[in-house]
Amino acid sequence: MGENPAKNHYAQLNQGEENEMEIFGYKTQGCRKALCIAGYFLSCGALLLLFYWKPEWDVWANCIRCSLEEADVVLLRTTDEFRIYSRKTVTWISVSALIQSRLNYPATAVEDSIFSKAIMKPSLQVKSIQVQRIRYVWNIYAKQFQKVGALEDHHTCSAIHAKFGSGLTCNEWNVRKVICGPNTIDVPVIPIWKLLIKEVLNPFYVFQLFSVCLWFAEDYMEYATAIIIMSLLSIFLTVYDLRQQSVKLHRLVESHNNIMVTVCRNKEGDSCFQELESHHLVPGDMLVLKEGKTLLPCDAILISGQCIVNESMLTGESIPVTKTHLPQADNFKPWRMHCAEDYKKHVLFCGTEVIQTKADDTGVVKAVVLRTGFNTAKGDLMRSILYPKPMNFKLYRDALRFLMCLIAFAAIGMIYTVCVFALNGEEAGEVVKKSLDVITIAVPPALPAALTTGIIYTQRRLKKKGIFCISPQRINMCGQLNLICFDKTGTLTEDGLDLWGLLPCERNCFQDIHSFPADHSLPWGPVFRAMAVCHSLIVWEGKIQGDPLDVKMFEATNWVIDDSSGHQIEGQGSTHATVVRPGPKASSAPVEGVAILHQFPFSSALQRMSVIAQEIGGEQQVFTKGAPEMVAMLCRAETVPLNFESKLLLYTAQGFRVIGLACKSLQAGKQSTDLTREEVESDLTFLGLLIMENRLKRETKPVLEELSAARIRSVMVTGDNIQTAVTVAKNAGMISPTNRVILVEANKIPGSFSASITWKPLEKNKPEDYRGLEDDSPPTTERRIGLALASGQYHFAMSGKSYQIVAQHFRHLLPKLLLNGTVFARMSPGQKSSLVEEFQKLDYFVGMCGDGANDCGALKVAHAGISLSEQEASVASPFTSRTPSIACVPELIREGRAALVTSFCMFKYMALYSTIQYLGVLLLYWQLNAFGNYQFLFQDLAITTVIGVTMSFTGAYPKLVPYRPPSQLISPPLLLSVVLNILFSLSMQVFGFVVVQEQPWYSKTDIHSACLSVNNHVENSSSISSLGLRGMRDGAHGQTDNGYKSYENTTVWLLSTINCLIVALVFSKGRPFRQPIYTNYVFILVLIGQLGVCLFLVFADIDDLYSKMDLVCTPTTWRISMVIMLAVTLAASFLVEEAVIENRPLWLLLKKTFRYHSKSHYKRLQRVLEQDSAWPPLNETFFSDSVAISVEGSMGGHSNPTFDSNEDTL
């Protein structure tokens, strides 16, 4: 075997995808397994529990390494920074029953199919594993695990038509069905017992169980019972919450799992139709879509006819989308590459609803099943909810380190305890109990519960403000956000567009502008025809539905859509054509109506849409509309006005959305369905510009100003034109009027592998500005630009195309461009996600706010994704706002900051409380004494638990300050605060412990000496009562002295208990991130109540109470001395916290003195660029080959393997 097993032991699964994993092969070994089973019994199940927490240890202990081919167990490890392990058992699927009489089946089947490559001969079995609900089978030839449940990507367009056009044979279908499994997105409701077991086996609850058992052994019943009740409550609440989520998810998908569908079967070369339940579908099946509404049970490629689909489930937009059939292009490119970014126009996604079907000459609408089950778009969405990306937040990492420190602390205490008690000859069992007790004191079992309360309260406050959160642990992250990406349309601006004007063009000259709403209607002509037919609108439920832009444009014509459908057009085989006719309010037109014969839907990659239309009884024409620059390129040069660019700039610079229109006549006798898009969209005649107004939302400007004042960067990421985006950014206040905008343009050089990049200042283009610039002498202008650049007051704007080229050819420049990039226009959904990831690599905490339409990927990737859409698509987003305005962003940041500060306060408090108790116990252990059960109970339950619950009630401060709370527990101010307060507590307790022993009334054996010695000096008037008291005390003493009572115990316990209240008050931070502490009435009342009870215990002289609490009577002077000690501690603690820990100018001065610089990548880069006088290089062009060598070394670029992520995972 030699090197072979090690060589084939490891591989990568889903390489380059979001859920990329490493996979290792292992083989179970009998003797190892037997040893492990023995270990389970000998350790009373502790080893089994350890293996449950650490699956990799389980595999390493039970199995030996082997090649993946021989493996019966595989170990998976994620490739992100978390490196999470999971264990999977290899299963065998037998297909022998299906192919028993046809051993030659694999050869006769599609040879290049994974199904034929996975069947092992002669056993006719398939080896498989299931990871995150997706099945992978072993490819015998490629020697790797491959995904099944999806059609292979290598098929060409013509191959899909040829191989699957007539359906699968019954035999092929049976084999595929067994290998792929059922086509269901099955999210079963998890049984409550499973949830309970999973929750109870959490390390935290196991530690609590250990603590509770120990406390019961020590007769510490009350607190043990209280902890059991709290834990059970916490477990039941969590289980209830998880169960609700499970039911909700189950309901979300169950409707799609059993739909009756019609498929086409290939029987000896003949096609026949067959009805079956959708869970029997397999990739490659031929679906026949009937008329009427249908829910799609899988992803499918449309190969004949046309469909109108409602994709709101995926995109969040209830806008009908037109799907066209896959062309029968005869080339060697895989179908997806052939269609480029447009492939989605041919794909029907699972979970979406087909509203309307239009058959072509064949008379049926057919689609080939592309993906089934959890491989589909809907399945992917479900998997992103079931298996969320783990969070990497310093707070959680530091929390673990902090717990490790406490455990180390406890270990020292254990050693000390063992030494003290063993040297004094205590019983071994007692020594073990006492030393284990130290762990439960030093590591507070209530810590995780106390931390989650703050987040639960914040979640409740957000809910009241209409912000819903499905990922509560991200709330703390919102407190660190320092860059927010905003989508433009529907987020910063109003959703709908208003038609503002039309700039017609005749004989390559622009005519007078036609304003809307106008008194006179538009005259009949090519522009009018383009507005009436160049859209993808449909009539659905009696209303015209579609893109808001199309709706506004069509409504301006006053025409109507005739939805009676089924119009026979002369010379056309098509029986389904949408016909538009003049409406009752329309101006007279010389035609009865116009039929839309064929559509080339809008494509964000091509930035245009086209239709082939025919006047009833007239000739066929092509109409195109889209981005003006794109439309002008497709037109004959002689039809485009010479002043096209300046006119376009004039309107886009004012923030208008501009659409270009064009048309051409088609030769008679040509079938519209036979024409390719390239043929149709060429040699067009330019018709003019349609100008739409997109108003800013009322809240946009104040919110962006608030974020800017809080030093939170705002970035616009939009699919719109760059000029429009820049203007909206200026109007919204993202770019201040004094700042310069630099346009970054990157282009591929035709015929070579290199690219060029140019920096151009974007001039203002108001007429008066032009005059001003003309009057200026050139040096003055340059000086003005130079000044703006030197002070860092410049913003980069770039398009999605440029961004992609920069990412591919100028990797080293990307961080520099992102540092001042404010406007990213014409961005595709994939580019939006990539941009967010690139910002994260620069150590920004990125928030993304979008309306869910095409921002799903970015919302998922960002540290905090806020969806303004309540559609199902937004389930991928951690936060959803009920009100569709960006006012929720500062609200979320405020609450996030408050929650983060609350978490730190709770951490500090819990650390101090456990340390104070720990120090007190260790001091008393020195005298072989300890706190009594009721003393522990009072501190643990009456003080800490109540404080833990009420401390988090404090709300967020209404103003966002221009700095963020610290992000890590292990930061100098926080550590200093904890250390100093521990020293204060230690000093006070040791001082009290030592000084009480020096008092004249102190006695080690007689715990009544203090009050007796006092009574001896009292006058006769009170001697009778004192005798009575003494007798009572003696009686009480005789009954209940349990060995805890001593002057040291009383002193240390009273000091430590009130010390807990002091730290609770001192650590309850108010401004600048939370409201002042006095606004938290419940907490203040609780503190006053607790302090009152504690002072009552200090000064009261009630025998029964003292006896119960294991306290002894001390002279009043000593009680006053204790109060003075506490007052001094409070003053010192408060002074240090306010004058040092919370003194921001002091820490900034220290940073400056010690030349401490932020380690964040973007801060380091800012410092580098401040020194670089050549940046940004204005009016210069770089070429990728020449620059790559000179700059790469100085600026370490970073790679992003998921940059070109498949966009089918919406």
CA atoms of 56 and 77, how far apart (whole Å): 9
Q: What DSSP designation does 542 have?
A: T
CA atoms of 160 and 181, how far apart (whole Å): 22
* Contacts (Cβ under 8 Å, ≥6 apart) of 940: 223, 226, 446
Kindly report the CA angle at 137 between 136 and 140, in degrees rounded to 5?
Answer: 145
What are the beta bridge partners of residue 334? 156
Tell me if the bond preceding 1072 is cis, omega within 30° of 0: yes
CA atoms of 354 and 310, how far apart (whole Å): 6
Q: What DSSP designation does 863 have?
A: S
CA atoms of 834 and 831, how far apart (whole Å): 5
What are the beta bridge partners of residue 89? 73
What are the beta bridge partners of residue 663? 623, 685
Chain center to CA of 664? 47
CA atoms of 508 and 143, how far apart (whole Å): 63
* Contacts (Cβ under 8 Å, ≥6 apart) of 612: 596, 597, 598, 599, 620, 621, 622, 666, 672, 675, 680
Active-site residue, 487 included: yes
Q: What DSSP designation does 939 have?
A: I
Contact present, 601 and 589 (Cβ < 8 Å)? no
CA atoms of 224 and 222, how far apart (whole Å): 5
Closest CA to 465 of 867, 851, 882: 882
Contact present, 224 and 212 (Cβ < 8 Å)? yes
What are the beta bridge partners of residue 273? 264
Helix (H) or strand (E) holding 203: helix 203-217
Contact present, 881 and 322 (Cβ < 8 Å)? no
Contact present, 1208 and 344 (Cβ < 8 Å)? yes
CA atoms of 516 and 520, how far apart (whole Å): 10
Residue of 58, 299, 360, 487 with catalytic role:
487
CA atoms of 354 and 307, how far apart (whole Å): 7
Chain center to CA of 786? 40
CA atoms of 516 and 521, how far apart (whole Å): 9
The residue whose two tokens read 């996604």 is 349
CA atoms of 321 and 312, how far apart (whole Å): 10
CA atoms of 119 and 97, how far apart (whole Å): 13
DSSP per-residue string spanning 597-666 = EEEEEEETTTTEEEEEEEETTS-EEEEEEE-HHHHHHHB-GGGS-TTHHHHHHHHHTTT-EEEEEEEEEP
- Token pair in block for residue 1082: 């419940």
CA atoms of 1136 and 1062, how far apart (whole Å): 13
CA atoms of 1069 and 900, how far apart (whole Å): 11
Q: What is the dihedral of CA 135, 136, 137, 141, to 10 degrees?
A: 160
- Which residues are part of the catalytic machinery? 487
